[in-house]
Structure formats: C-alpha cells, structure tokens
Structure 1
Amino acid sequence: MGLTQGELAQAAGVSQPLVSQMQRGTRAVTADVLTRVAEATGTPMSFFEIDPVDLPADTLAFRKKAGTSPREVERVEATVREAYRVAARLMAETRVRRTPLPRAEGELSADDIEEFAARTRDALGLARDGVVGHVIRACEGAGIPVVPLVLVDAQGSGEEIVVGHSGVSCWRGIRDPLLVSYFSAGSGDRQRFTTAHELGHLVLHPARRGLVDALGAEAEAHRFAGAFLLPGPRAAEAFEGPLTLKDFAALKKRWGMSIQALINRAHDLGHVDAARRESLYKQLSARGWRTVEPVTVHPEQPSLMRAMLIRRYGEQPSLLPAAEDLALHPVLLRSLVPDVEPGAGPRRESAPVISLGERRVGRENRLRAL
C-alpha cells in the first residue's frame, strides 16, 4: 500500500516501535493490533491467516525503466505475489486445464528465439503465419491468467498507472502455474507487445535461471515478442522494398504492433539497417509520433480470472465475500477481474492449471507483506 512503518502505525493508532517489533518477530502479533490494521487499511482479517506464496526472487520478470525506485519495485513484487497466490488457488479450485509451453534450455541464438516463438504459436493453437487476433485470450486459452494490476493505497482506492512498469510475469516452478500481468493498458499495440514480451519470459527463462542476466533476458523477450506477433516469413513479405512511415502505419493496422516495434522488428531481421532505423525514428519524433502514434489498436480485455471467480463464487453483486475468502484487499481483487465489455478486443480465443503448495510462515511476515 506504499505506507511507511510510521504511517501504518499512525493509521492503526499504535506505536511505530510496536509495529517494528511485530514485523521483526521479536514481539507477538496480537489480534487487537491486527484488527486495528485491518480496519485502518480496509484489508480482510483473513489476509493475516493465509499462507503467503513463496516465489523465488528470480522467477519474477519485470519490464521496467532503469530509474524505477526500490520502494516501487517492492510494492509491485508484493502485489504480484498476492495476485499469483489468488490466481493459483482459483485455478486449482476450478480445475482449469493448463497447456504446456515450449521450454528453452541452454544458450540461444536469435534464430532459436524465432523458432521458440513459432513453437509457442503451435502450443497456443495459433497458425504460424497469421495475425494473433487476441494475445491475452491466446494466453488464457493455455491456462495462463493475464491480469491488470492496480496498486492499493491506504484509503482503499487505486492508482491506475505505475510509473516505470509496464508488465510483470512470474512462475513458482517449472510445473507450477504461470502469470502475466500489466499496469495500465494504455494503447492496445503496446499492451499486446507487453503481453507477448512477458509470454517470452515464461517460455525462454524458467529453465535457464542464472544463465542469462536481466538485460539479456529483456533483449530475448523483446525478440520473442516481435517474432510471436509478426513471424519471420510474413515479416519478409511485409518489409519488402523501401518502406515509409505511411507503410509502417498500414502494417500496424494489420498486425497490431506499434510503428516503433515494427521498425525494430525490421531492423532485427536485417530489412532495415541502423542508419535507416535512425532516420525513421527522427521522422517519428518530428511528427510527434514517439508518444502518440496514428492508427488506434484497442486494448484487449482478459476474462479468465473473472470466469474462475464466477465459477467458484457465482454471480454476486459484491466481491466482498470472495475477497474475505481469498484474503485479498477488495480493491485489488476488483482490479484483477475487470468487467469484460462486449466486443472489446479482436477475435476471442477460448479458455483455459494446477495446484499450488504454499509454505507456512508466521503472522509477522503477513504484516510485512501488507
């Protein structure tokens, strides 16, 4: 929630040293203090009783800017861990099926990444050379929840944009559920690329932990996203001949990728050299297209989390009973299951993983998680 220890203590009407001692485990956590904290923050009491999920640090893959603050990273990690815990539990309780993804191992070349992108299309039931009509639904069809994330503040309201982050993917172990999340949908083309980028992490990196550093993993996931959204053979046709920005805008309309991503894809495949790419970027800047591009690609809407929630708890006017049972702040739960608007996004790809064992820890760790 972004509260300091002192702010939490003040909101709950207790002393800061008391909160500190309880977090460190040097003093027993009492029901009175938990009740005060729960009431002050709008958090269900069940939050303090549930086992937190054990996600190894290197199984969280972030797409963030270099200047992102450590405090923001901590908030994002805590939020993603809770989202993963709830998603994994719902998947087990509603018996959602999971489609195995290809698993990369060892050293990879650019051509290897292109092939893994093609094999991932196979696994998701997509044609190798067609347009991906709905990236999110394709992931959900394989049993990978894709969720929007909103950080919850002390008053229980949400912040729609998290500066410095666009997407996060995580896994607990190779045989455990996977999760993709994004902050602020923004433009549909960027959201599609972010989802494909995080899907790339899930294919390329669970079995290669320690083999590739963070920068290398980001570069690989970028290459994967481009190959997944615009396969090499079709890219060769699309990028044939000298292309103007108008041509790239037409390709954006067809493939649902930003002009900037298309320029980089053309460069990765050798259809545009470094000098031409620089020239195109200068033209983008001159037209103001680096921030707002022409051609609207509408954001996609996820549906798997909502479907699981309805299957588990039924159609309810309020999420409070589910939030209490799932031990999750109701505003955060609401952000994970947005209403699906009719006609949102292109083609629908249908639905659907496995149980999750959780490590037992004390209440002081749950207070720290809050």
Structure 2
Amino acid sequence: MTRASPEAHDDLMAAARRTAPVFAGAQLVAMRELLGQSQADLAESLGISQSALSQAERGETTLSTANIALAALLLEVEPEAFADRPAFDVILAPQFRHLKRTPRREQLRAERFVQATAQVARGLREEVVFPDPFEYAHHIDPDLEIESAAEQVELAAARAREALKLAPDRPISEDLVDDLESGGITIVRDPETDRDIDAYSAIVDDLPIIVLDGGEESVWDRDNFNLAHELGHLVMHRGSERRPGTRTVEAQANRFAGAFLGPAPALESELPSELDWACYLDLKRTWGLSMAALARRAKDIGRIDEATYTRAMKQRSAFGWRRVEPGSTDRALPTPTHLSRASDLAGLSPDDIARRVLLPCDVVSRILGTQRPTLV
C-alpha cells in the first residue's frame, strides 16, 4: 500500500483534528481487523514503528492528526470512525464450526464483520420498519452430550418453528431465507468468508445475525443446513459464555438442523427403512436436506441402524459426494434480501450508508449483497 498525502485534503484534516481529542485505539483495531490487516502492515503504511502503533491501539498514546487522517485514507473510512463510542453488546459470540482450522486473523475479521453487519442493520432500522428481532431461546447445556440432549434439541427445533410461525410438519425448503428474515434474523452472504467457514452466527446489540459463505463452492442444500444449524446456535446457545466450536455444541446444532428442516413426525413415514439413495434424492428436493443429512436423520429417528448409516457415509465418499452430491446444483443459492431492499426503500446507496455508520463502502456493499435484476 503506498503512502497517501492527507495534508492535501482540507476536509479530511479538519475531521481528523476534531477526532484527535476523542481518538480511541480500540476503534482503529476494529477497523484494521475488519479489513484483515496486520498491525505490522498498517504501521508500515503509516510510516511509524509497530511499537508506536501498538501503544496507540492500547490507548497509551494517540496518533497525530496527520496519521489519523492517513489511517482513515488507508482504511477507507472517515476519521470519525476512530472516535470513542460504546462497545457492542455481544450476547452470543460468533459460532465457528471449524474453530481449530480457522486462522486467528480470519476469526477476528469475521467477528468484526458481524459487528459491521449490526451497524448497517441498526442504521437501516432507523429508516425502515423491520420485523422485530428474533428472540426465542431454548437453552441447552452446551457441554451435554447429544445422546442426552437429543430430546431437548428436537423440542427446541419444534418450538423454533412455532416462534417463526411455520407449520410444524411442512417442508420449508425453498423459503428458508425469507422465513428467517421475516422472523427477525439478519442474514448476509459474504463472498470473502474464509474457505474453512461455511457459516457463522452471533447476537450483537440484540440483533441475531447469520453470515453465509459466499464462495464458489457454495450449494443450496448445504446452505439450507447451514442456516438451520446457525439457527440452532441462536436458539440453544444464546448468552452462552462457553468457547464456540466444541464437539458437543456442534453436535447439538447439527441435530437441531435436521429436526428443524425435517420434523420427525412428518419425515419418519417418508424415510425408507433401508439405504435408498434414489428415495433420498427425491426427499431432498422436497425437504431441502442433503442426502447425507437425510441419512443422518434416518439414523437419528431410528429408520436405519448405525451400521447402515456407516455404510451410507462410506458410499458417499466412494461416490465423490462429500462436497457436492446429486441435486446440489439444480437450485439457486438462498439469497438474503432484507438489507438490500431496506436500502432501496430508504433511498440510500452503499456510499450513503458507509458515511452514516462509519464503515468502508466495500464492506457495506458486501453486507448489502448483490441482488439479481427482477421483473417482479
């Protein structure tokens, strides 16, 4: 990154002078982590030592007016973005499925991205009436093994359907994003999500948020399961201070996803009692569960035994279905629409919103998402 000349921008320098007395290093850290920049990289771009930047970020010193202006240029925000303001109220920390495989920098970037999503959603809620935030909770001990928690998890999934005003026994396959957004959950698809992060969820400032991977390997059936899995975290683990990504927490969310998408009373009579991939493919198109998830659901509700399920997973690997299975590419990806539609209704461009909420325009554009043209 080449060094800019903030002194050439009178308005920028004036904003930096206004910001300097209330400069908060924590806000600079947040912006740097949101953009995935290391402390060393930013220090080099500012022309100062890493030690000097570290002291400023810890609140022991402050940056000069010129460096506040330069940091704003480099991070593509207004200088006011570095002013002190209340911290976010994080009720549920981001839930990462593959915590050990996800680099720390990517974890931090994702945490900051979900906070940025809350900023954008909060800004748009000042202009447009949204559904009330989804609040239903059915707390389950995150350390409880799934064998002991299964009955509670199945109940939590059924009650979540009730809370979202969904029929208890009907497929919600193609309407899942719309149903969750209409139920007060903010959903975004981030094209820059790390490849080891399928999705993650959090509750920030009372707003439940789900972030879906926007990578090229995304397919609709896995996204459906990801949405239901993250809903499970929002319902069962709200307020939990336990470390995310543990085996028991993820097992609970997986069981919740299967139960939410395929309620046992409705699905049990349709599942075959033997391994039948053709039947699973047909059910997949109706219920929106992948064939692998349907095999797991069949095991969970007693339609097939452990040995048959193990054989199914071995066959799945042998067939090359671990990432993409038959039927996974015959439907468009679920697309969040509420934030984009709200910005249109409010007459606000990504630039307008970025200035209001003090975020980089590129980040705001990612949060709003790219919508397909419509004739409707």
Higher RCO, Cα 8 Å, sep 6+: 1
Counterpart of 1:114 in structure 2 is 154
- What does residue 14 of structure 2 align with? none
The answer for unaligned runs of 5 or more in structure 2 is 1-34, 142-147
How far is the alpha carbon of 1:293 from its aligned partner? 0.7
Structure 2: which amino acid aligns with 1:137? D
Mean CA deviation greater in 32-41 or 42-51 = 42-51
- Go from structure 1 to structure 2 and tell me whether the alpha carbon gap of 1:110 and 1:52 turns closer, same or farther (over 3 Å shift): same
Cross-structure match for 1:81: 115
CA 1:100–1:84: 2 relative to 1, 3 Å: closer
Residue in structure 2 matched with residue 141 of structure 1 by the alignment: 182
Choose the corresponding residue for 2:163, options 123, 132, 148.
123
Q: Tell me the residue number matched to 2:38.
A: 4
Match 1:198 to one of 230, 241, 248 = 230
Cα contact 1:145–1:179 (8 A) shared by 2:
yes
Deviations 1:270-318 (A, max 9, x none): 2122211111112112211112211133211111111222333x054xx
Once the two structures are superposed, what CA deviation does each residue of 1:322-345 show, in whole Å capped at 9, x if it has no partner? 21111111111111112332679x
Residues 41, 57 of structure 1: CA spacing in aligned structure 2 closer, same or farther, 3 A cutoff?
Answer: same
**Matched residues in 1 for 2:281 and 2:46: separation?**
54
The alignment partner of 2:101 has SS state of coil
SS of 2:200's partner is strand
Structure 2 residue matching 1:62: 3-state secondary structure: coil
Report the 3-state secondary structure (helix = DSSP H, G, I; strand = E; otherwise coil) of the residue aligned with 2:97. strand
Q: Which residue of 1 aligns with 2:367?
A: 336
Percent of pairs with identical residues: 29
| Alpha-carbon contact 2:118-2:204 (below 8 Å) kept | no
- Is 2:356 the counterpart of 1:325? yes
Q: Does 1:249 align with 2:289?
A: no
Which deviates more from structure 2 when the two are superposed, residues 5-14 or residues 42-51? 42-51
Partner of 1:60, secondary structure, is coil
Largest Rg, 1 or 2: 2
- Rounded Cα–Cα distance in structure 2 between residues aligned with 1:178 and 1:161: 18
Distance 1:194 1:330, change over 3 A: same
Work out whether residues 99 and 123 of structure 1, in 8 Å CA contact, stay in contact via their aligned partners in 2. no
SS at match of 1:168: strand
Q: Distance in 1 between matches of 2:76 and 2:53?
A: 18
Comparing 63-72 with 188-197, greater Cα deviation is found at 63-72
TM-score w.r.t. the length of structure 2 is 0.80
1:149/1:335 contact within 8 Å kept: yes
Please list the CA deviations of residues 68-117 of structure 1 after superposition, one character each: whole Å capped at 9, or x if unmatched. Answer: 22222122112222222322343354342316543213557312221221
Amino acid paired to 2:57: Q
Paired amino acid for 2:190: L
Q: How many residues align?
A: 331
* Partner Cα separation in structure 2 for residue 139 and residue 184 of structure 1: 18
The aligned amino acid for 2:370 is: D
Give the corresponding residue for 1:14.
48
Alignment of 1:181 with 2:211, yes or no, is yes
1:298, 1:307 → 2: CA distance? 19
Q: Distance in 2 between matches of 1:208 and 1:39?
A: 38
Correspondence for 1:105: 139
Distance 2:71 2:63 in 1: 11
Q: Are the structure 2 counterparts of residues 302 and 213 from structure 1 closer, same or farther at C-alpha, using a change threshold of 3 Å?
A: closer
Contact 2:187 2:336 in 1 (8 A): yes
User: Which of 298, 302, 318 lines up with 2:336 in the alignment?
Assistant: 302
Structure 1 Cα separation of the partners of residues 243 and 86 of structure 2: 28
- Partner SS state of residue 22, structure 1: helix
Residues 1:34 and 2:34 aligned together: no
The Cα offsets for residues 171-190 of structure 1, whole Å up to 9 and x where unpaired, read as 147xx221111122610111
Unaligned 5+ runs, structure 1 = 151-159, 349-370
Q: Distance in 1 between matches of 2:61 and 2:135?
A: 46
